[in-house]
C-alpha cells in the first residue's frame, strides 16, 4: 500500500455539496481490479474513478489519460459525471492536455473528447444505440413508477455503454410527483436487462421544438443558428427539462442525484426526434435535495455535448 493523491469532487453543480459526488484516485498504477473495486465499495459513492496512463494505442491517438470507473458493485464502461469529475481533478492536479483546450480521455467505450469553456467542461456524447420497447415493458415500467400509461409520450432503449431506458412524460410536475415501487421497478429492469430507468419532461414554455417557434425570443434562444458551445454563459440557462433517474446499484434500486450518461443519451434521442431543442438545461436531483444542472448543446455537425460545473470538496492523500 502507498500514499496516493486523492480528490472528492462535486459534479453538475456550481455549489459544493449540491451536485453528484465522485471519488478520484489520481494515480491508480499498480492496483488490481479487485483493489479498485474494494476501495470503490468502501467510499460508498455512486462512482469512484482511478486515473492511469493511456494505453499505447490510445496515446497514439493523443489520449491524455485512462480512467477506470467503478460503482460499489461493478466496473462501468462509461459514465458522465465521472468523466467530467475525473477531468476536473486531472487538470487541477497539473495535467496538461496534449491538445490545448481539449482533453482526450480513454475509457472502456473508447476515447471521449472533453472541452473547456471557462470553469465548465463538456464531453462529447458517445455513440448511442437505441431501439423501441415492447408495449409490455413500457406498461410494466409505468406501473412500477405509479404512472398511467397515457402519461408516457415516448419511450426508448438507450445504450451508450451503460444500458438505460428512457421515458418522456407529459409534464415536469408528473416527473417530480413520481412515487416508484422500487421492488417492482427492479423486477421490471432485470427482466429487460437494463441498469437504469430515466424519466424526463420538456417544459412546454421552452420545447418541444414545435412549440417554441410561437415565441421569437425563444426561437432565437433555442435555434441552431450561431449556437454557442456547451458551457458558454448563455442568457437562458433556466432548466427546460426535468429529469429523474433510478438505477440498480446491486442492492436494490435508488435514485441518482445527476446522471451524465443518461442525460447524454436522453439528449441524443430527444433532439433527434424533435422532442427538445438543440440547446437546453436539464435539472436533476430536485426531489432528493440536489440542484443538478446539465447543459446540453448540439453543434452544427450533429455532435451532442454534455456540460456541467465541478467543484473540489476534499483534496489530500489516500493510503491504497
Contact 290, 258 (CB under 8 A): yes
Report the alpha-carbon distance of residue 180 to residue 256 in Å, rounded: 14
Among residues 248, 250, 245, the alpha carbon closest in space to that of 264 is found at 245
β-strand partners of 281: 295
β-strand partners of 9: 22, 312
Catalytic residues: 47
Contact 74, 195 (CB under 8 A): no
Q: What is the DSSP string of 50-119?
A: EEEPPPHHHHHTT--EEEEEE-SS-EES--HHHHHHHHHHHHHTT---SBTTEEEEEETTEEEEEEEETT
Kind and range of the H or E element at 209?
helix 209-212
Among residues 113, 122, 82, 91, the alpha carbon closest in space to that of 228 is found at 122
Contacts of residue 293, defined as CB under 8 A and 6 or more positions apart, other chains included, come to: 12, 13, 14, 237, 239, 281, 282, 283, 308, 309
Indicate the length of the chain as a whole number. 320
Contacts of residue 242, defined as CB under 8 A and 6 or more positions apart, other chains included, come to: 172, 175, 176, 200, 201, 203, 282, 283, 284, 286
Q: Are strands 163-169 and 196-202 parallel, antiparallel or unpaired?
A: parallel
Q: Is 1 exposed, middle or buried (0-12, 13-18, 19+ CB in 10 A)?
A: exposed
Q: How far is CA 163 from CA 166, 221, 245, 248, in A?
A: 10, 32, 13, 11
Amino acid at each position: 500500500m502507498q500514499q496516493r493523491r486523492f480528490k472528492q469532487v462535486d459534479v453538475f453543480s456550481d455549489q459544493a455539496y449540491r451536485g453528484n459526488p465522485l471519488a478520484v484516485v489520481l494515480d491508480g498504477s499498480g492496483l488490481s481490479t479487485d483493489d479498485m473495486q474494494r476501495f470503490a465499495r468502501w467510499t460508498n459513492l455512486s462512482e469512484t474513478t482511478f486515473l492511469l496512463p493511456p494505453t499505447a494505442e490510445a496515446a497514439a491517438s493523443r489520449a491524455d489519460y485512462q480512467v477506470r470507473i467503478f460503482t460499489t458493485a461493478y466496473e462501468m464502461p462509461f459514465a458522465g459525471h465521472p468523466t467530467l469529475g475525473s477531468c476536473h481533478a486531472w487538470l487541477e492536479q497539473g495535467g496538461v492536455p496534449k491538445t490545448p483546450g481539449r482533453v482526450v480521455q480513454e475509457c472502456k467505450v473508447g476515447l471521449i473528447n472533453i472541452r473547456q469553456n471557462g470553469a465548465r467542461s463538456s464531453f462529447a456524447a458517445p455513440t448511442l444505440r437505441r431501439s423501441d420497447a415492447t408495449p409490455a415493458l413500457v406498461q410494466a415500467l409505468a406501473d412500477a413508477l405509479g404512472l398511467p400509461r397515457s402519461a408516457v409520450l415516448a419511450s426508448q432503449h438507450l445504450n451508450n455503454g451503460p444500458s438505460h431506458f428512457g421515458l418522456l412524460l407529459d409534464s415536469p410536475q408528473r416527473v417530480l410527483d413520481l412515487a416508484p415501487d422500487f421492488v417492482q421497478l427492479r423486477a421490471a429492469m432485470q427482466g429487460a436487462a437494463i441498469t437504469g430507468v430515466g424519466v424526463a419532461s420538456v417544459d412546454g414554455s421552452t420545447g418541444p421544438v414545435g412549440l417554441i417557434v410561437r415565441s421569437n425570443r425563444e426561437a432565437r434562444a433555442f435555434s441552431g443558428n450561431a449556437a454557442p458551445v456547451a458551457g458558454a454563459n448563455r442568457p437562458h440557462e433556466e432548466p427546460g427539462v426535468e429529469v429523474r433517474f433510478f438505477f440498480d446499484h446491486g442492492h436494490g434500486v435508488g435514485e441518482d442525484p445527476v446522471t451524465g450518461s443518461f442525460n447524454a443519451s436522453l439528449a441524443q434521442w430527444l433532439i433527434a426526434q424533435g422532442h427538445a431543442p438543440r440547446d437546453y438545461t436539464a435539472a436533476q436531483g430536485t426531489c432528493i435535495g440536489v440542484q443538478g444542472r446539465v447543459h446540453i448543446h448540439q453543434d452544427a455537425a450533429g455532435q451532442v455535448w454534455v456540460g456541467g460545473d465541478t467543484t473540489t470538496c476534499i483534496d489530500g492523500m489516500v493510503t491504497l
